[in-house]
């Protein structure tokens, strides 16, 4: 089986855990994973941009629901 091209990016940054008893793990974790057939590499950047825009829209919606 051939090796599929891929990328993996992970960021973990410290965060305010909130007030006890509802304190959360004090970090923000963001992960991006992408796999594609070798000939499709030119499309990956556009798909990542679409996914990023979708994630930001979901984040905005979440913020609106919690206000």
**Averaged in consecutive runs of 10 residues, what is the pLDDT profile of the chain (67 residues)?**
85 93 91 95 96 96 84
**Is the CB of residue 36 less than 8 Å from the CB of residue 4?**
yes
The answer as to whether 1 is a domain residue is no
pLDDT attached to residue 2: 59
Domain count, the chain: 1
Tokens of 17: 């855990």
The answer as to whether 11 is a domain residue is yes
- The whole domain housing 32 covers 6-65
């Amino acid at each position: 089986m051939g090796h599929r091209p891929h990328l993996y990016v992970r960021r973990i940054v410290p965060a305010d855990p909130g007030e006890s008893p509802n304190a959360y793990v004090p970090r923000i974790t963001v992960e991006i994973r992408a796999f594609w057939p070798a000939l499709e590499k030119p499309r990956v950047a556009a798909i990542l941009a679409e996914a990023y825009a979708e994630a930001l829209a979901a984040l905005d919606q979440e913020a609106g629901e919690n206000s």
